[in-house]
Amino acid sequence: MEKGILIAFEGISACGKSTQINYISKYLNDNEYKFTKTSWNSDEVISPLIGQAKKNKLFTPITWSILHATDFSRRYFEEILPALEENRVVLADRYYPTAYTRDTYRGIPANYVQNLYSFARKPDIIFFLDLPPEKSIERRLKRHPNLYYYSSGNDVNPLLGLQPSFMKYQNNLYSNYRELKEVCNFSWIDATQEPDKIYQDILLELEPLLSRCVKQG
Amino acid sequence: MLIVVEGIHGCGKSTLINSLVKKLQIDGREVVTTSWNSYDLVHPAIYYLRKNGLLYNPYLYFMMHLSDFSFRHEQEILPALQSGKVVIADRYVYTGIVRGLVRGLPRSFVEEAYRFAAKPDLTILLDLSAEESLKRTSPRANSTWYIGFGQPHASEDTLDKDEYASYLNVSRNKYLEFARTDLIINGNLTADKIVERVYQEMIKEKLYANQN
């Protein structure tokens, strides 16, 4: 049996991933499970390069795809794998489905993206927080009115304004996620519910998996 | 026009490229060269990881070089080709693939990862034995970091000569395997002979047609 538990959270912008990851972190802490958190595009060496490439608009679809996979590979071998080896719980705020949805939107063939991430262990469970794009867009704009070039998918539709481009991007990512539902075996969570109810839904599926992880002390 | 020069350390790539650049420039062509692991944004990170012993993992090693290559491909190689320049690449996809393979990565993984690369008009492999390479150069610990399943080598002092020779040998054989349908030139020939051989091939392949 594989060591540790790998739990991934997926969903479009502002669907509630961070809130739920915080809840689950608290739960794991309270129940004395050892755990590690890792977020998309956060490696200390590669993430600044991604920032630079965004700022200087250097990305084309293929470099976008490869540099994000490189960030992931760093985190995978430096954070995720060592934590799993110690039988920890790993909470991943986004995992390879994020790359599948975003890179294919930019025209990279799905096979190509799958190959780039082929070294990565399949998560024990992937929660997909299903919030319809209209709701997530509204929530995102209310929370952070500023939109950015790449995170609005404006590189794909340079003739659109940032906001129409963002809406198109989120809608497309959402349909890409729906298409991955079976392939990635998503645990589909209704994210239109109150945060507490979402948390209960997640916990219901999570608790049986936790038995093989080590507790603190 | 895209010309690629491949081969193990010390095989004569730079010498050949310098001659080619001069000759093509005399012929009135605009020439751009691009070297392995040289993109401004990426190569300092590769250097940093290597220096700190963080490039031990074959996948990570592979991904970092793939990143560097992909940016040069998009930002340097393609734009130059589109504006009608000659691009000469000091190492290209075979290097990325071979270095992944000798570190034990699956063939399908490494080949697929480089599939996006523009197809060269001419790939030249300068073939040299490991023994000859060792006579011409000193082992470079930094180019052979983490050989196969061995240990990382902190410096040239801790690099085992035999291990390095076997790394070169395995690499050489892989290059030969990939370059089967390309122009393979014996790296023991004189520099002039090598350039002459390349020019014959370019004329034969009509890569010169627009000059004459």
Q: What is the 3-state secondary structure (H, E, C) of B151-196?
A: CCCCCHHHCCHHHHHHHHHHHHHHHHHHCCCCEEEECCCCHHHHHH
The owner of tokens 């490189």 is A70
Contacts with A137 (C-beta within 8 Å, 6 or more apart), sequence order: A13, A14, A166, A167, A170
Q: What is the pLDDT of residue B153?
A: 53
Kindly list the residues from chain A whose CB atom is less than 8 angstroms away from the CB atom of residue B70: 62-63, 66-67
Q: Report yes or no for ipTM above 0.85.
A: yes
Tokens of B34: 């691009």
More confident residue, A7 or B157: A7
State whether B116 and A116 contact (CB < 8 Å).
Answer: no
Q: In angstroms, rounded to a whole number, what is the distance separating the alpha carbons of residues A10 and A109?
A: 20
What is the mean predicted confidence (pLDDT) over B170-196?
96
Q: Which residue has the tokens 């300092």?
A: B44
Q: In sequence order, what DSSP letters do the residues of B110-161 get, joined into one string?
A: HHHHTTTSPPPSEEEEEE--HHHHHHHS---GGGS-S-TTS---SSGGG--H
Dist CA A179 CA A171 (whole Å): 13
At B172, list the tokens.
Answer: 């050489």
**Interface contact A115-B57, CB threshold 8 A:** no
**Chain A interface test: which of B66, B77, B82 (most A C-beta within 10 Å):** B66
Tell me: the pLDDT tens digits for A82-130?
999 999 999 999 999 999 999 999 999 999 999 999 999 999 999 999 9
Q: Give me the pLDDT at residue B8, please.
A: 94
For B113, the closest of A52, A53, A115 (CB atoms) is A115
Residue B62 has pLDDT above 80, yes or no: yes
Whole-number pLDDT of residue A84: 96
CA pair distance B205, B199, nearest whole angstrom: 10
Dist CA B79 CA A51 (whole Å): 23
Instruction: Check pLDDT > 50 for residue B149.
Output: no
Number of C-alpha atoms within 13 angstroms, CB side, residue B177? 11
CATH of A5-212, one of 3.40.605.10, 1.10.760.10, 3.40.50.300, 1.10.540.10: 3.40.50.300
- What is the pLDDT at residue B156? 55
Q: For an interface test with A, which of B65, B69, B71 has the most A Cβ atoms less than 10 Å from its Cβ?
A: B71
Rg of chain B, C-alpha, whole Å? 17
Identify the pLDDT of residue B123.
98
Instruction: Tell me what percent of chain B is helix, strand and coil, each rounded to the nearest 5.
Output: 55, 10, 35
Residues of B in contact with A45 (CB under 8 A): 45, 48-49, 54
Among B42, B57, B115, beta carbon nearest to A49: B42
Q: Where are the domains of chain B?
A: 2-211
pLDDT at B143 over 60: no
User: What φ, ψ does residue B89 adopt, rounded to 5°?
Assistant: -105, 120
pLDDT tier at B189, thresholds 50, 70, 90: very high
Superfamily of domain B2-211, CATH level 4: P-loop containing nucleotide triphosphate hydrolases (3.40.50.300)
Q: Is the pLDDT of residue B146 over 70?
A: no
pLDDT in tens, A126-163: 999 999 999 999 999 999 999 999 999 999 999 999 99
Residue B100, SS3?
Answer: helix
Please determine, for residue B209, whether its predicted confidence score (pLDDT) is greater than 60.
no
Q: Number of residue pairs across A and B with CB atoms under 8 Å?
A: 57
Would you call A112 an interface residue with chain B, using a CB distance cutoff of 8 Å?
Answer: yes
CB-CB under 8 Å, B112 with A111: yes
Q: In what order do the strands lie in the sheet with A89-93?
A: A35-39, A89-93, A5-10, A125-130, A186-190
- Which residues of B are less than 8 Å from A78 in CB distance? 54
CB interface of A with B, residues 45-84, below 8 Å:
45-46, 49, 52-53, 58, 60, 62-63, 66-67, 69-70, 73-74, 77-78
Q: How confident is the model at residue B148 (pLDDT cuts 50, 70, 90)?
A: very low
Mean pLDDT, residues B159-180 taken together: 88
Q: What is the percent of chain B with per-residue pLDDT over 90, rounded to a whole number?
A: 73
Question: How much is the average pLDDT of A40-67?
Answer: 98
pTM: 0.95
pLDDT of residue A211: 79
- On chain B, the residues whose CB falls within 8 A of the CB of A118 are 106, 109
